[in-house]
Structure 1
Amino acid sequence: MDAFEYLSSPLTWAVTFISCLYILYKYVTLQFNYFVDQGIPGPKPMPIFGNMWGLWKKNTAEHDASLVKKYGKIFGYFDGPNPNLWITDTEMIKAIFVKDFNHFVDRRSFQFKTNVVRKWLTVLRGQEWKDVRSSVTPAFTTGKIKRMSLLINDCVHKLCDSIAAQTEGKINAKLIFSAFTMDVIARCAFGLKIDNLGDKDDPFVQNAQFIFNPPSNKTPLILLPFTYPKLFSLFGESLFVTKQLKFFFQLLQNMIRERSQSEEKYHDFIEVANEAISEFTKDVGGKKVAMWSREEIEEILIGQSTLFMLAGFDTTATTLTNTCFELARNPDIQDKLYGSIIKKLEDYDDICHELIQDLPYLEQVLLEVLRLYPPALRTDRQCTKDISYDNGRINIKAGVMVTVPIYALHHMEEYYPNPEKFDPERWTPENKAKRSPYSFMAFGAGPRNCVGMRFAMEEMKMAICTLVKKFHFFVVKETPEKLQFDDGFQTALQPTRAILGIESRHSNFN
C-alpha cells in the first residue's frame, strides 16, 4: 500500500477521527479532578459544558440556591472545562474580596477587542483597572451625586404624573419603572431629555430594549463567554457588541464633541466623569501630567457611560418593582414607611437629597428588598496569584474563578432566619451588628464593589420616598402571591408579572 492509499484509507480516517476526539476529550476534561483531588465536593461535570449544560432553560436563582443547599458553603463547579470555586462562607468571602484582594484583582475576563467596550470597568484588569477606577470614583462622591439628584427628582415627578394619569387604578410595575429608570439614565448618563419616553418608535427606547433583553439569553450561545472565553473573543464578540449597543457609542461620541464647543453646565454623569477623568494624572520625570490623551479620555468616558446604562437601568427598575410589590403585600410596613416620611417632612420643605439621607427606615426597606431580590445573581473574581486557605486544604491556582452566588447567599437560613419573609427589621443597627457584613453582597464587596452604589441608592430612595408620600399601593386580583422571575441564564432577576393596585393619598403634603 503506497502513502496515498494509506492516507485515503477509511481505516486511517477513522483512527484519525477517533484520536482527535480523544485529544479533545482529554483537553476539555483535563482539570476535572481539580476539586476532587482537594476533597472539595461539587456536582459532576460533563465534557465540553462542565456544569453549565441547560442553564439557558433553568431559573438561575433557584438553580444556584439548590446547589448551595446540596453541596454546602464551599464547593467546586465547572464553567465548561474551567474550575470555579463557589463560596457562601462569609470569612472566605472577606478573605477573597478584601483581605487578599491583591490575589483576586480581576473579574472574569471576556477579552473584548471592540473600542469602548474594552474600557468598561467590569472587564478591565490589573493596573489599568486600578487607574480607571481611581479616575471614575470621584464622579460618585456625595457632592457629585447631590448635583445629579436634581435631575433624578425631575424624573421622579414625571413618573408621578404618569402614574396619576392611570385611570384603571392599577399599574404594571416593571413596565412603568422601566420607563422611569430609562428616563433617569437618559438624563443622568446621556444628558438627554426624552419627551415621549416609552414610545416604541423612539430609537433610544428601541435600541435599549434590545440590549436589555437579547435573544441569546435563552440559547446555548449565552454560555460561550463563560465556558470558552478565547473562542468568544475570536468568534462570539459580535453576538454581544451589537449595532444596538454601537448606537449608544455613536450617540455619546457626538454629544461629547458638541459639548466641547459649549460652556453650558449639565450636572450629569458625562460632565462630572469627564472632569474627574481629565484631572487624573501620572508622574513623568517628577512632573504631574495627564494620565490619558483626549482620545483615550473620550473612549473611557463613553465606556463608563454605556456601562452606567447597562448596570443601572434594568437592575434599578427591578428593585423598584420588587419594593412596591412588597409594600403592597405588607400594608403595615407601607404605613410605617409613610408615617416616617410624613414626620420627616415636618423638618424639610419637600423631598430632597438631605431628607432621604435622614430616613433610616427607608434604607431598611430597600436593603431588605435587595437582600430578598438581589439584582445581580452572582459576582466573581479571578485568581491572579496562587493562594491557599484552610491550612493548605483549599488551593486556588492563578486563573481559577471564584464565584459568590448572591441570591443563594441572601437566602441562607444561617444568616437570615426565615429567609423568605420580608422583614426590614433585619436592618436595624442592632440586628446588622449581629451578622457578618459579607452575608450581604447586593453591591459586591471590597475595592471592586459597585462604583455606582451611591447613585443607585439615591435614585431608589428618591423614587420610593416620593411615591409612598403621594400614592398607596395595594393588592389586586392580578397581583401574584409571590413574585415569579423569568427563566434563562439571567445575570439579573426579571420579574414576569407584577400588577399592583394604586391610588392617590389625600394629604396636605401632596
Structure 2
Amino acid sequence: MPLTGSYLGDAAAAVTFVAAMLVLVCRWIYGYWKRRGVPFLEPESVFGNFKEILLSRKYFGEGLQELYWRLQPHPYGGIFVSLRPALLVRDPDLIKSCLVKDFNHFQHRGFKVDEKHDPLSAHLFNLGGPRWRALRTKLTPTFTSGKMRLMFPLMEACAREMVAVLQPLAEGRQEVEIKEWNARFTTDVIGTCAFGIQCNSLRDPESEFRKMGRSIFNSPLRTLFNFVRCGYLLHINSVSPGCERFFMGVVRDTVDYRKKNDVKRNDFVNLLLELQEKGQVQPDHESADTGKKVAHSPDIDFTFTDDLFAAQCFVFFVAGFETSSTTMSFCIHELAVNPDVQDRLRSEVDSVLSRHGGEVTYDAVQEMTYLDMVVAETLRKYPPVANFSRACTEPYNLPGTSVRIENPVKVIIPVYAIHHDPKYYPDPEKFDPERFTEEGKASRHHFVYLPFGEGPRICIGMRFGLLQAKLGIASLVSKFVFSATSKTPVKLRMDPKSAVTSSIGGINVRISARTRNDGEW
C-alpha cells in the first residue's frame, strides 16, 4: 500500500523529535564540566575531543599533547572521550595526589573485565578492587631483584643469539629495520622467562609466538571498540579467537608438562603454579616496587583459576615484549643520529665489561650508569604508554578546590605531553641523557617522569622490562656500530594505529661490525 502524505508527515515528525531529543541529551552531557565550574574544552563532535585519536588519524600522545596545551595554564581541565567526561590532569602535585596520596579514590584503571566471554581480559592490568590487590600481592615476588638475577642467564642467552644472527648483516654493513629484530629478541626472552619455551623467533620470524605478537598489536578496530566500551557490550574480545586459543593452549600444555614431570624453573609459570597449588605467597617478601620487606596479609583470599592463570601469562607476554622492543628500537635510533652519545655509551660498556671478563653479566649491567641515563632519556622522549588513566571509585574533592570528581569519571595523565613540556625538560625534542644525572633528577618534580606510572599501580614488571632493554642495548653496542641512512629521519613520525608508542615505517639504521680500531674488547 503506498504511503500517504499523512504517514510521511508523521514519520518526518517522529524523526525530527528523536533528533531533537538526541541533540538535547548531547548538550546536557557536554555541559557536565560547565555545570561544575571546571575549565573545559568544547567537544567537536560525538567523538568529544578525541575524534582524530579514535579514528586513528593522530597518535594518542600527540593528540593529548594538543589538549594539554589548550588547557594551559589550568592545573586540570575537563574533556570528553566521545560522550564520557574525563579530567585531564596537568599539575604534578595533583597527579601525585591521584596516584599515591589519595589512591583509594582512584584504584581502578576503568577497563571492563569479561571473564566469561573474554577470559584473557582478567589480568593484573585490567583488574580492580580486592581482586587486583590480592593478585598484585601474590605476583610481586616474581619481580624482585633476586628473581631478576635468577632469570638473567635466560635473558643473556637470548642476547647472545641476537648478536649471532645480526653478525652477518653487520659484516656486510647492511641496512636493517631494527625494531623487528628487537621484537624477536624480546619475544624469545619472554618465551623462555615466562613459559620455559624456546620460541626461536630470532632464527624463525614466522614462529608462532612472533606471529601472535604481531596480531595482538595489529587490530586498530578491535582497540577502538574496546576503548569506547562497545567491545564489552558486544562481547568483542580483546584479542582474536585464534590468539586466545593459542595462549590458552600454550599455558595448558606447559602446566600439564611441568606437573607430570615435576619440572621446576626460575620463571613466571613456576610462581603461578605455586600460587595455584598453595593458595598463598610466603609470609614475607621483598616488594618489586620498593625493595623493602612486606608482610603478607592473611585476610586476602583469592581463587586462582586456570583462566586467571592464562590471563596473567598473556599480559606478561604482551607487556614484556612490545614495550621493551620499542624502547630498544627508539634508543638505537637516537644512538644512530647522535654518534657522540653512542661513542660515550660504547666506551662505558667496554670499560665495565673489561672488569667482568668480557661477559655481559647481571652485575655488569647494573654498573652501567650512563646506559641507565640513555634508557631513561629514551623512555622520556618515547614513553611506551603515552597516557594512562584512573577511574574514580569514590567521590573525590580536588585538593584546595570545591570541584568534586564522581564515580566513574576518569582522570587522564598525559605522560607524553608532560615528558615534552619545556618547563620540565628544556628543548624537549633534543635527546640528552644528561637530564638523568642524579643532580638532574633531584632538580625536577618526581611526578613529571612517568614511563611506568606511579603509586600502588606502578608497572609491576618495571625491573624486568628495564633489565631486558638494558641487556639488549649493551649487547648490541658492544659488538656493533649503528649509523643513520637515507631512511633514518632525525624526527620520527608516530603511528596513530599502534596501541603503544611506535614509529611509522619502523626504525631503519645501518649496522656495522666493530673493528679493532673501534676498541672492541
TM-score above 0.5, yes or no? yes
Deviation string for 1:72-103 (max 9, x for gaps)?
A: 24221111211110112100100000000000
1:349-368 correspondence runs (5 A):
349=357, 350-368=359-377
Deviation at 1:430, TM superposition (A): 0.7
Which residue identity lines up with residue 440 of structure 2 in the other structure?
N
Match of residue 60 from structure 1 = 60
**1:59 and 1:178 mapped to 2: Cα distance?**
21
Deviation string for 1:327-356 (max 9, x for gaps)?
A: 111122112112222222243232111111
CA contact (8 A) 1:197 1:205 kept: no
Match of residue 347 from structure 1 = 355
2:327 to 296, 300, 319: 319
1:188-203 correspondence runs (5 A):
188-195=193-200, 197=202, 199=204, 201-203=206-208
Deviation at 1:281, TM superposition (A): 3.2
Deviation string for 1:462-509 (max 9, x for gaps)?
A: 111111111121222322222222133644333524221222223586
Do the aligned partners of residues 104 and 241 (structure 1) sit closer, same or farther apart at CA in structure 2, a change above 3 Å counting? farther
Match of residue 440 from structure 1 = 449
Match of residue 308 from structure 1 = 316
Deviation string for 1:231-289 (max 9, x for gaps)?
A: 4322152464532233112221221122111223332221134335655539xxxx979
Match of residue 482 from structure 2 = 473
Do the aligned partners of residues 270 and 26 (structure 1) sit closer, same or farther apart at CA in structure 2, a change above 3 Å counting? farther
Match of residue 188 from structure 2 = 183
**1:410 and 1:356 mapped to 2: Cα distance?**
26
**2:331 and 2:7 mapped to 1: Cα distance?**
69
Match of residue 32 from structure 1 = 30
Deviation at 1:46, TM superposition (A): 4.5
Asked whether 1:136 is paired with 2:139, we answer yes
Which residue identity lines up with residue 483 of structure 2 in the other structure?
F
CA contact (8 A) 1:222 1:489 kept: no
Asked whether 1:43 is paired with 2:41, we answer yes
Asked whether 1:235 is paired with 2:231, we answer no
SS in structure 1 of the partner of residue 380 of structure 2: helix
2:175 to 150, 170, 192: 170
Which residue identity lines up with residue 88 of structure 1 in the other structure?
R
Deviation string for 1:90-119 (max 9, x for gaps)?
A: 001000000000000000222323353242
Which residue identity lines up with residue 467 of structure 2 in the other structure?
E
Do the aligned partners of residues 468 and 489 (structure 1) sit closer, same or farther apart at CA in structure 2, a change above 3 Å counting? closer
Which residue identity lines up with residue 338 of structure 1 in the other structure?
R
Do the aligned partners of residues 473 and 85 (structure 1) sit closer, same or farther apart at CA in structure 2, a change above 3 Å counting? same
SS in structure 1 of the partner of residue 176 of structure 2: strand
Asked whether 1:392 is paired with 2:406, we answer no
SS in structure 2 of the partner of residue 345 of structure 1: helix
Do the aligned partners of residues 182 and 96 (structure 1) sit closer, same or farther apart at CA in structure 2, a change above 3 Å counting? same
Between 426-435 and 464-473, the greater mean CA deviation after superposition: 464-473
**2:14 and 2:141 mapped to 1: Cα distance?**
59
Between 31-40 and 372-381, the greater mean CA deviation after superposition: 31-40
Match of residue 226 from structure 2 = 225
SS in structure 2 of the partner of residue 105 of structure 1: coil
1:82-231 correspondence runs (5 A):
82-113=84-115, 114=117, 116-166=119-169, 167-195=172-200, 197=202, 199=204, 201-214=206-219, 217=220, 219=221, 222-227=223-228, 229=229, 231=230
CA contact (8 A) 2:188 2:201 kept: no
**1:70 and 1:46 mapped to 2: Cα distance?**
14
Between 264-273 and 399-408, the greater mean CA deviation after superposition: 264-273
**2:45 and 2:489 mapped to 1: Cα distance?**
40
Alignment coverage as a number of residue pairs: 493
CA contact (8 A) 1:59 1:488 kept: yes
Deviation at 1:11, TM superposition (A): 4.2
Structure 2 residue runs of 5 or longer lacking an equivalent are 282-296
Match of residue 513 from structure 2 = 504
Between 32-41 and 350-359, the greater mean CA deviation after superposition: 32-41
Asked whether 1:248 is paired with 2:251, we answer no
Deviation string for 1:113-160 (max 9, x for gaps)?
A: 335324211211111110011111111111111111111101100110
CA contact (8 A) 1:278 1:297 kept: no
Match of residue 287 from structure 2 = none
**1:182 and 1:495 mapped to 2: Cα distance?**
21
CA contact (8 A) 1:207 1:245 kept: no
CA contact (8 A) 1:211 1:245 kept: no
Between 11-20 and 319-328, the greater mean CA deviation after superposition: 11-20
Match of residue 291 from structure 2 = none
Deviation at 1:161, TM superposition (A): 0.6
**1:397 and 1:27 mapped to 2: Cα distance?**
20
CA contact (8 A) 1:77 1:84 kept: yes
Which residue identity lines up with residue 430 of structure 1 in the other structure?
E
Which residue identity lines up with residue 266 of structure 2 in the other structure?
H
**2:19 and 2:238 mapped to 1: Cα distance?**
28
Structure 1 residue runs of 5 or longer lacking an equivalent are none
**1:497 and 1:223 mapped to 2: Cα distance?**
22
**1:239 and 1:255 mapped to 2: Cα distance?**
23
Do the aligned partners of residues 359 and 169 (structure 1) sit closer, same or farther apart at CA in structure 2, a change above 3 Å counting? same
Deviation at 1:23, TM superposition (A): 3.9
Deviation string for 1:396-427 (max 9, x for gaps)?
A: 11110001111111000111111111111111
**2:166 and 2:430 mapped to 1: Cα distance?**
28
**1:446 and 1:403 mapped to 2: Cα distance?**
15
Which residue identity lines up with residue 496 of structure 1 in the other structure?
G
Deviation at 1:29, TM superposition (A): 4.3
Which residue identity lines up with residue 438 of structure 1 in the other structure?
F
Which residue identity lines up with residue 123 of structure 2 in the other structure?
W
TM-score w.r.t. length of structure 1: 0.90
1:406-425 correspondence runs (5 A):
406-425=415-434
Between 423-432 and 236-245, the greater mean CA deviation after superposition: 236-245
CA contact (8 A) 1:186 1:193 kept: yes
TM-score w.r.t. length of structure 2: 0.88
Between 497-506 and 407-416, the greater mean CA deviation after superposition: 497-506
**2:113 and 2:23 mapped to 1: Cα distance?**
25
**1:36 and 1:416 mapped to 2: Cα distance?**
33
Deviation string for 1:142-184 (max 9, x for gaps)?
A: 1111111111101100110111021343321112111111111
Deviation at 1:323, TM superposition (A): 0.5
CA contact (8 A) 2:92 2:448 kept: yes
Deviation at 1:292, TM superposition (A): 4.4
Between 194-203 and 81-90, the greater mean CA deviation after superposition: 194-203
**1:268 and 1:183 mapped to 2: Cα distance?**
13
